[in-house]
Amino acid sequence: MTDMATGTPLSRVDGLLKVTGGADYAADHNPPGLLHAVLVTSTVSRATITGIDTAKARALPGVADVITDFGGVKLPFPAGEISFFGQPVAIALAGTLQQAQHAASVVAVRVTEKPAVTSMDDRQAIAVPSEEVADYARGDADAALKAGPIVLDNSFTVARENHNPMELPATVAQWSGDELTVWDKTQWVQGTGKHIAAALDVPESSVRVICPFIGGAFGSAGRTWPHQVLAAYAARRVKRPVKLVLTRKQMYSGVGYRPESRQRLALAAGADGRITGIVHELKTETARYEAYSEDAAELPKMLYTSPNVRSTYRLVPVDVSAGTFMRGPGFVTGAFALESTLDELAERVDIDPVELRLRNVADRNQITGTPFTQERFADCLRRGAEAFGWARRRPPKARREGNLLIGMGMASAAHPNYMSAASAVARINADGTAVVASATADMGPGTATAMSQLAADGLGLPVAKVRAMLGDSTLPTAPMHAGSATLASIGSAVHTASVAVRDAVVRMAVLDPASPLYQADPATVTVHNGVMSAPGHGSERYGDVLRRHGKDSIDSTQTWKPGDGKKASSYEFGAVFAEVSVDIRLGLVRIRRMRGVYDIGRVVNPKLAHSQAIGGLVGGIGMALLESTARDHRDGRIVNANMADYLVPVHADVPDLEAEFLDGADTASTPIGVKGAAELVIIGVPAAIANAVYNATGVRVRDLPITLDKLL
């Protein structure tokens, strides 16, 4: 079929809702009888609560309750204790938001403070092994470092970052008898339902979670946080629907962050630029009450051929809130150290940075030893260099325009193509329309649009006739909308279910003496615009055969499972190129242009994939140049917990960016040939920018973000 929906730059199916204010986000729900809930949070990092005075708050007009006793709720931190600055300690409930805010502001929490350590660099902060990321070694990396001849051995730091999606975390909880309905901001409706059910000790089946739209999340709405549980708990206590929206300030300690990290990356190489050894020692901060590790060790072990590698990952538990995955978790952090080091190596051995990487590109996963399902890493590097005009790059500090130093840098990107078992239902209606549904989510990439396109092709229907549904825990089982896994997983399930229901109708037709397709070979039947036809036979619509059988619709629910990955390693690759200017008087770095070239398998929607890719570049610009969660370690307070002082890229920071995708489907990974993109597109960005800053100025910055003080 030439008119496939897959591969076309279709505009978003929910675009009209988003431009008219019709898309309903969690906080937009106002059920009758609603109470507004506002959290009271701790203002110390470690303490025992000795009392909470609510009398003043309770006396205010409109206040329904002030809950200070979270007994009977399972929360990740110990009851009666304060484990971090910003921990929820009470909930004020009132008829209006203003009343609830005022009530929360006058709740007095009495505590006995204990000594707290909130900095991972504090002498009292002790590093412990990660239970999730084991130490790793192949060959003898330390011997390789001794042997040289080229050795680079440097430390890298990355500041803590907060996701800062535009949408505030919000939960509206409504009980009807023992049944709970939650309109929530979550990347995983079913996971949140399970979590709330377990935390409140009610059956999973009694909790329904609904989230058709997410106003961005980047990982922050993946796991279920205390405020989501507390909203449901409060609603049960007061027997009224409750809306709880975190403030922007509360987000900084309430929904995780990319942990601050310290890395030592030492690399040995020959004069020909071939890597002979890598030592990677990594530490990240974590909460004392809950360990969070991330995959920052993966790329230095996996990406390049090096016979000798040693890698260790340590966690540093301190009195802070829990971290969580943020776009490109771990990979972007590890890539910053690795790709900065390769840039240094290129200069030391006087080999072009692109050529240096080509010399070290691995044809198989260096950890597992298995070949890649599709290996176009080198193609990304070559294509990127050509399209960007990399050949015009000059030696460091060689390009100047007035007060601006101009430089170019590049970096590699790679990320595993994570996939999970996923289910979807596809339904063909007799009126010629169809519905596909799964309990997945769409925080922005365009899940619903891609589902519609894949379903349209699987069903043989125009995409306008297909409606995609998601974001409801009662729909077929879906994994968390995270880890770049959604399209590969859900898309494969949608494809499988769509083909299954198409085949079911085709079978009905070929077995039906009243059908023009009677006794046709089902394998020869094609469906186009909802019309089934076969060579030597007539044709008829889906609806014709369904109506003869007295059916309004027919559906099929299918579960797709990924392979075990033992024979081949499924990975996404990319290369990122950046050109920056640095004002020599101010140390101010500006992005002049960037290009990412990616291998993500088949691109279902080039328009939306491009948006996702430039979004990753923008996120990477923030990480490289702006973002840092600043804390006062005297009390653990986050001092820039607002969008005026925590800087993210704005319009004026971002020029037109370029992203392109190599042609081709990776059908060894998924039946639809799709691999993930969301993480990949941020991974090489900070390193590419740091390398461009070096090329411009001759100053190597190994601490993110690259603020002007580091260049003056």
Instruction: Based on the shown chain and the rule CB under 8 A, indicate whether residue 183 belongs to the binding site for another protein.
Output: no
Q: How far is 545 from 660, CA to CA, in rounded Å?
A: 44
List 63, 65, 120, 165, residue binding another protein (CB under 8 A): 165
State the Cα angle at 679 between 676 and 685, rounded to 5°. Answer: 130
List 3, 4, 16, 563, residue binding another protein (CB under 8 A): 16
Do 534 and 519 contact (CB within 8 A), yes or no? no
Q: Which is nearer to another protein, 256 or 458 (CB)?
A: 256
Instruction: Based on the shown chain and the rule CB under 8 A, indicate whether residue 548 belongs to the binding site for another protein.
Output: no
Choose one: 98-106, 279-287, 393-401, 483-491; the region binding another protein (CB under 8 A): 98-106
Which residues within the stretch 215-234 sit at the binding site for another protein (CB under 8 A)? 215-218
Instruction: Based on the shown chain and the rule CB under 8 A, indicate whether residue 166 belongs to the binding site for another protein.
Output: yes
Return the closest-CA partner of residue 568 out of 353, 399, 369, 293: 369
Choose one: 22-30, 124-132, 370-378, 430-438; the region binding another protein (CB under 8 A): 22-30
CB of 189 to another protein, least distance (A): 16
Pinpoint the alpha helices (H) of 583-684.
606-625, 680-683
Q: Which is nearer to another protein, 156 or 252 (CB)?
A: 252
Do 290 and 189 contact (CB within 8 A), yes or no? no
List 323, 615, 673, 686, residue binding another protein (CB under 8 A): 615
Sheet containing 47-53: which strands, arranged edge to edge?
Answer: 81-82, 47-53, 108-113
Instruction: Based on the shown chain and the rule CB under 8 A, indicate whether residue 366 belongs to the binding site for another protein.
Output: no
- Residue written as tokens 């890597």? 275
List 245, 265, 315, 450, residue binding another protein (CB under 8 A): 245
679 catalytically annotated: yes
CB of 421 to another protein, least distance (A): 26
CB of 689 to another protein, least distance (A): 14
Return the closest-CA partner of residue 425 out of 436, 433, 411: 436
Q: Which CA distances in Å does 234 have to 103, 183, 443?
A: 15, 15, 27
Q: Which CA distances in Å does 342 have to 300, 335, 410, 636?
A: 11, 10, 10, 36
Q: Which is nearer to another protein, 266 or 576 (CB)?
A: 576
Contact map string, positions 575 to 594, toward another protein, x by CB under 8 A = --------------------
Q: How far is 97 from 435, CA to CA, in rounded Å?
A: 38
Choose one: 75-83, 314-322, 442-450, 473-481; the region binding another protein (CB under 8 A): 442-450
Choose one: 85-93, 129-137, 469-477, 638-646; the region binding another protein (CB under 8 A): 638-646
Query: Taking the chain, what is the end-to-end CA distance rounded to the nearest angstrom?
Result: 60
3-state secondary structure of 406: strand
CB of 217 to another protein, least distance (A): 8
Q: Strands 434-437, 466-469: parallel, antiparallel or unpaired by DSSP?
A: parallel
Neighbours of 122 (CB within 10 A): 14
Instruction: Based on the shown chain and the rule CB under 8 A, indicate whether residue 642 belongs to the binding site for another protein.
Output: yes
Render 176-219 in DSSP notation, one character per residue: ETTEEEEEE--S-HHHHHHHHHHHHT--GGGEEEE-S--S--TT
Q: Which is nearer to another protein, 32 or 71 (CB)?
A: 32
Size of the site for another protein (CB under 8 A): 65
- Residue written as tokens 């799964």? 438
CB of 86 to another protein, least distance (A): 17
CB of 642 to another protein, least distance (A): 6
List 22, 51, 129, 149, residue binding another protein (CB under 8 A): 22
Do 31 and 235 contact (CB within 8 A), yes or no? no
Which residues within the stretch 643-662 sit at the binding site for another protein (CB under 8 A)? 643-644, 648-652, 654-657
CB of 523 to another protein, least distance (A): 38
Q: Which residue(s) pair with 244 in the sheet? A: 37, 171
CB of 619 to another protein, least distance (A): 6
Instruction: Based on the shown chain and the rule CB under 8 A, indicate whether residue 31 belongs to the binding site for another protein.
Output: no
Q: In terms of C-beta density within 10 A (0-12 exposed, 13-18 middle, 19 or more buried), how is residue 424 classed?
A: buried
List 144, 145, 161, 167, residue binding another protein (CB under 8 A): 167
Q: Which residue(s) pair with 423 in the sheet? A: 559
Q: How far is 666 from 93, CA to CA, in rounded Å?
A: 52
Q: Which is nearer to another protein, 9 or 51 (CB)?
A: 9
List 444, 458, 476, 596, residue binding another protein (CB under 8 A): 444
Q: Which CA distances in Å does 533 have to 316, 339, 427, 526?
A: 65, 55, 20, 6
Instruction: Based on the shown chain and the rule CB under 8 A, indicate whether residue 98 belongs to the binding site for another protein.
Output: yes
List 48, 96, 112, 155, residue binding another protein (CB under 8 A): 96
**Which one-letter amino acid corresponds to residue 623?**
M
| Helix orientation angle between 353-360 and 331-349, rounded to the nearest 10 degrees | 110
CB of 248 to another protein, least distance (A): 4
Q: Which CA distances in Å does 289 have to 1, 78, 83, 235, 403?
A: 56, 8, 7, 27, 50
Q: Which is nearer to another protein, 461 or 617 (CB)?
A: 617
From the candidates 260, 294, 375, 679, which is the catalytic residue?
679
Instruction: Based on the shown chain and the rule CB under 8 A, indicate whether residue 169 belongs to the binding site for another protein.
Output: no
Q: Which CA distances in Å does 401 have to 308, 391, 581, 637?
A: 44, 19, 9, 42
Q: In terms of C-beta density within 10 A (0-12 exposed, 13-18 middle, 19 or more buried), how is residue 25 classed?
A: middle
Q: Which is nearer to another protein, 213 or 571 (CB)?
A: 213
Q: Which is nearer to another protein, 23 or 504 (CB)?
A: 23
Which residues within the stretch 258-297 sit at the binding site for another protein (CB under 8 A)? none
List 197, 608, 690, 711, residue binding another protein (CB under 8 A): 608
Contact residues toward another protein (CB under 8 A) are 11-12, 14-25, 27-28, 30, 36, 96-99, 101-102, 164-168, 213-218, 245, 247-248, 443-446, 607-608, 610-612, 614-619, 642-644, 648-652, 654-657
Q: Cite the active site residues.
A: 679
